[in-house]
Structure 1
Amino acid sequence: MTRLNLVLLVAVVASALYLVRVQYESRRLYTEIEKAQAESRRIDVDRERLQVERRAQATPGRVEKVAREQLQMRAATPGITQYVTPKGAS
């Protein structure tokens, strides 16, 4: 009888330790999921911000200003336009 009690005690202790391990692992995985979701939300916010910045950078007025100031470009006029014709064409 004491042998059976000892076997049952070992089984109960083993199952209790297993239960503690499973609960710990479950909590750890849950916190990892929460961290991943928070990171996903942060990345979504950054993506939205970058899209807004990209749209702001691509406005026609800004493109023209950058072309004029940084690239020293100017609007094409008939006086500065050069026409190229292929050889043999009149």
Structure 2
Amino acid sequence: MLRLNLVLLLAVLASALYLVSTQYESRRLYVELEKATAHSRQIETDNERLQLEKRAQATPLRVEKLARDRLQMRTATPAITQYVTYQEAAVAGVPHE
């Protein structure tokens, strides 16, 4: 009878220790999951902010302003446009395809 009681006591202690370690691991994984979820939300927020900034930077008015200021480009007008016809290209020695 004493052997049976000792075996049962050891079985109860082993199952109790296993239960404690399982609960600890479960809590640790839950905290890790919450951290990953928070990090994911932060990345999504950053992505939305960057997409908004990208759209703001690519507006036609801003691109035109940068082209004028930094590249010294100007709008094409008939006064500064030079048209090339096929005959002029042949005379100039430009091969045609």
Find the structure with the greater CA-based Rg: 2
Question: Percent same amino acid among aligned pairs?
Answer: 72
User: What stretches of structure 1 of length at least 5 have no aligned partner?
Assistant: none
Query: In the alignment, what sits opposite 1:54?
Result: 54
Q: Over aligned residue pairs, what C-alpha RMSD do you find? A: 1.6
Letter in 2 for 1:34: E
- Tell me: CA distance 1:78–1:12, structure 2 relative to 1, closer, same or farther (3 Å): same
Return the alpha-carbon distance in structure 2 between the equivalents of residues 68 and 42 of structure 1: 37
> Which ranges of 4 or more aligned residues in structure 1 deviate by more than 3 Å?
84-89
Query: In the alignment, what sits opposite 1:24?
Result: 24
1:67 partnered with 2:67? yes
Q: TM-score, normalised by structure 2?
A: 0.83
Return the alpha-carbon distance in structure 2 between the equivalents of residues 82 and 9 of structure 1: 100
Query: In the alignment, what sits opposite 1:14?
Result: 14
Return the alpha-carbon distance in structure 2 between the equivalents of residues 85 and 5 of structure 1: 108
Letter in 1 for 2:65: K
User: What stretches of structure 2 of length at least 5 have no aligned partner?
Assistant: 91-95
Letter in 1 for 2:62: R
1:76 partnered with 2:72? no
Q: TM-score, normalised by structure 1?
A: 0.88
